[in-house]
Chain A
Amino acid sequence: MIDVPNTLAGRRLLISGATGFLGKVLVAWLLEHCPGVHLQLVVRTRGRVETPVRRIERLIDTSPAFRPLRHRHGPALGRWLGERLCAVSGDVEKPSWGLDAAALADLQGTDVVIHCAGLTDFAPDPLRALAANTAGAVHGANLARALGARLIHVSTAFVCGRRDGPVDEVVHPGIAPNGAAFDPAETVRRLLVDLRGAPDAEARAAIGGTVAEALGWPNVYTLTKGLAEHLVAARLPDAVIVRPSIVECARRYPFPGWNEGLNTSGPLAWLISTAFRDLPARDELPFDVVPVDDVAAGIALSCAAACLGRAPPVVHLCSSDVNLLTLGRTIELTGLAMRRWCRTHGRPVDRLLFQHLDPVAVPADDPGPFAPARLREWVAQAGTWFADSPRWREADVELERVERMLRLYRPFIHDHAPVFRTDGIRRLGQDNPAPYRFDVTDIDWRRYWIDVEYPGLRQWCIPLVYGQRAPLDPPSSPPLRIAASSPERLAAK
């Protein structure tokens, strides 16, 4: 058993990515459940006017992730936070995360660096992804070493690449997912040279995709996260690599359904929420989903274990080995959730469509008459039969978007069936009381998917597909101001 709140009490954690989906929940979760901890958040400021503290104040004041904290502390929140939280300006893509000498001096005594920042798009510009995902992690490792702190590097379970079957919690620096020996630093160097010489984003994407494919990673995202792991493990052997799978809506904290941004299930749920019914997928494949608050609990537990020198080098925060959710079940549950949602929110045409047509998985290589490619042929044909109109062209653009998206998702929903082993984190949290353990065995996927996940996606994610913004909470009046930290508190360990 690891006493997480007591182990972390008085410890100083330096966290990157606190303004992201996982980062917000992690910060809120730590403040809520480990109130003795001191958090130092590295945030990128926009423009000269905004200070890091102002950005964090606005974030805490308006993000739904901090609702429980705001409700609990009310007007006293600023003072309460002042004793537990500070923010420094930085940029993870720069050496030492862009922290100046004064900031680095203030950060001496940091116990753990938690690197959460990263780009989670499946098809980002490889240059940007290398800077954020790979260079950011390397700079984090160097920074942790300079501060004499342990590093928790948040990666992804899908760095396993194109794998089927059980995936262990290990990293073998210099061995690619396809088993080939390679030099990660040299790969990054060459990749950067090639990418900088490429004429445009399309060429860069092609170069990134080719390198990923050659080493056994399915896309640029997993390539850049994978390279980061290899470099971090080689540079800092005592680093802890935490690998969540698909991070989805919270099931308890900050409240059921909270989500942010367009993550893996969001676009798929959106697709099923359109007239598109045939998803090229394999029913029996694991769809490894973890609620974001479980991931936060897993990171906090790993962090406490790292402080005690008991953390394993790699930790999976996944569900497929202990509570399997298959893709076929996910598709069916999404259809059922959609059906329920339409009963209360849908237009009559939605009700008609979704009460009578369910999404189904179809083979990717023989997707039938409703595959996007076939529909595009029909649309092109319709354009020749009837008057050519912008509507046909719009339909073609939309279908091309769907086709591209399905190509991106194919490795995860059709081609490979990895099952991530979670022995490490389960051993760490054994006998710990809730919520200080990572336990996804009690998730009832039906209840979670229909009552929590799908409504959460509808509220927080799907509006983004249509160019809308996710709703924020109204700022408090007067606006939240975090009281300055007392020096004694900062010095205390």
Chain B
Amino acid sequence: MQPVAYFRVEGVLWDRSGAHAAGWLAARAQDLGTRLTRLGAVAASVPFGWAPIGDRGTARRLAWSAVRGFSEDRLAELGDEYRERFVDDALRPVGLDLLERCRADGYRLVLLTDLVAAIAEGLRSRLRVEDLVSNQLEWVDGRATGRLVDPIVGAVDGRWVRTHAAGLGVKLDRSRAYGAVGDDAVLLGAVDGPCAVAPDRDLRRIARDCGWPVVDA
């Protein structure tokens, strides 16, 4: 079985968060009235993102509720535009370098991201990464309900990692993982080769306590 290297997109490969993408999309809902209420949902999600670890799943749910009523066409087209404008040219060299090293070492690469598949799928294909673990929106009759399908990527319980590893038949203790925020501690703690890349304060502290290597940008 090929060993796996998990890369958290937010922080390791890219500076922004999923809330930025959700806000950008919300501001481009088809009619003007909807935009205001959706932007309100994204604004409400921001304090949850600052709260202690444990509430970030709620932040993601609130942020992505902003795309309620979006058609698949709108999300795909705007997702492509968002990626071209805010992701493709803003990838962090340090993250890309680590990605290439893992590829050269024969690891199966997996991107982990708070973003929804409409945006992240294009990034996966551009970086020639085998797998993607992203948040999934619930769809009814071709329209997004605004709800995320469980497990939510980025939530602290780490179910999303275990679900993915079980799906691939991968043993996490033979894998590598690169994280940047406190939420990633569960993932990094589960693998054989953890690495904190330009970590936030929470993850830096945990990395120091656990003796994980830290790479600063």
Contact = CB atoms under 8 A, between A and B. Distances in A.
Interface stretch (B37-45, B56-64, B69-77, B202-210): B69-77
Contacts of B31: 358, 360
A139 to B, nearest CB: 45
Contacts of A58: none
Interface residues of B, number: 12
A332 B74 contact: yes
Dominant SS among interface residues on chain B? helix
Given A332-B30, A360-B30, A360-B31, A340 B71 contact: no
Instruction: Specify which of B31, B77, B81 lies most central, judged by the most chain A CB atoms within 10 Å of its CB.
Output: B77
B138 to A, nearest CB: 20
A431 B28 CA distance: 44
Given A340-B81, A343-B81, A446 B73 contact: yes
B73 A332 contact: yes
A446 B71 CA distance: 11
Given A329-B71, A332-B71, A446 B77 contact: yes
A450 B80 CA distance: 12
Interface in B22-36: 28, 30-32
A355 B32 CA distance: 12
Contacts of A329: 71, 73
B30 A446 contact: no
Contact of A340 (B30, B72, B74, B77): B77
Contact of B30 (A343, A358, A450): A358
Contacts of B77: 336, 339-340, 446, 450
Contacts of B71: 329, 332
B139 to A, nearest CB: 15
A99 to B, nearest CB: 50
A242 interface: no
A128 to B, nearest CB: 40
Contacts of B81: 339-340, 343
B57 to A, nearest CB: 31
Contacts of A340: 77, 81
Interface string A295-336: 000000000000000000000000000000000010011011
Contacts of A355: 28
A340 B77 CA distance: 9
Nearest to B30: A358
A360 B30 CA distance: 7
A263 B28 CA distance: 30
Given A340-B81, A343-B81, A333 B30 contact: no
Interface string A13-24: 000000000000
Contact of B73 (A333, A343, A357, A360): A333
Nearest to A360: B31
Contacts of B30: 332, 335, 358, 360
A358 B34 CA distance: 12
Contacts of A446: 72-73, 76-77
A337 to B, nearest CB: 8
Nearest to B85: A343
A230 B4 CA distance: 69
B136 to A, nearest CB: 19
Nearest to A359: B30
A132 to B, nearest CB: 38
Contacts of B74: 332, 336
Contacts of B28: 355, 358
Interface in B101-118: none
A42 B77 CA distance: 45
Contacts of A357: 32
Nearest to A333: B73
Contacts of A336: 73-74, 77-78
A390 to B, nearest CB: 32
Interface string B1-38: 00000000000000000000000000010111000000
A329 B74 CA distance: 10
B105 to A, nearest CB: 37
B23 to A, nearest CB: 15
Instruction: Specify which of A329, A340, A358, A360 lies most central, judged by the most chain B CB atoms within 10 Å of its CB.
Output: A358
A334 to B, nearest CB: 11
Contacts of B76: 446
A340 B32 CA distance: 19
A282 B196 CA distance: 53
Nearest to A446: B73
B140 to A, nearest CB: 16
A335 B81 CA distance: 14
A333 B75 CA distance: 11
B129 to A, nearest CB: 23
A344 to B, nearest CB: 11
A34 B77 CA distance: 38
Interface in A434-466: 446, 450
Nearest to A337: B77
B142 to A, nearest CB: 8
14 contacts: A329-B71, A329-B73, A332-B30, A332-B71, A336-B73, A336-B74, A340-B77, A343-B81, A355-B28, A357-B32, A446-B72, A446-B73, A446-B76, A450-B77
Interface of A: 329, 332-333, 335-336, 339-340, 343, 355, 357-358, 360, 446, 450
Given A333-B73, A336-B73, A446-B76, 8 more contacts: A332-B30, A332-B73, A336-B74, A343-B81, A355-B28, A358-B28, A358-B30, A446-B77
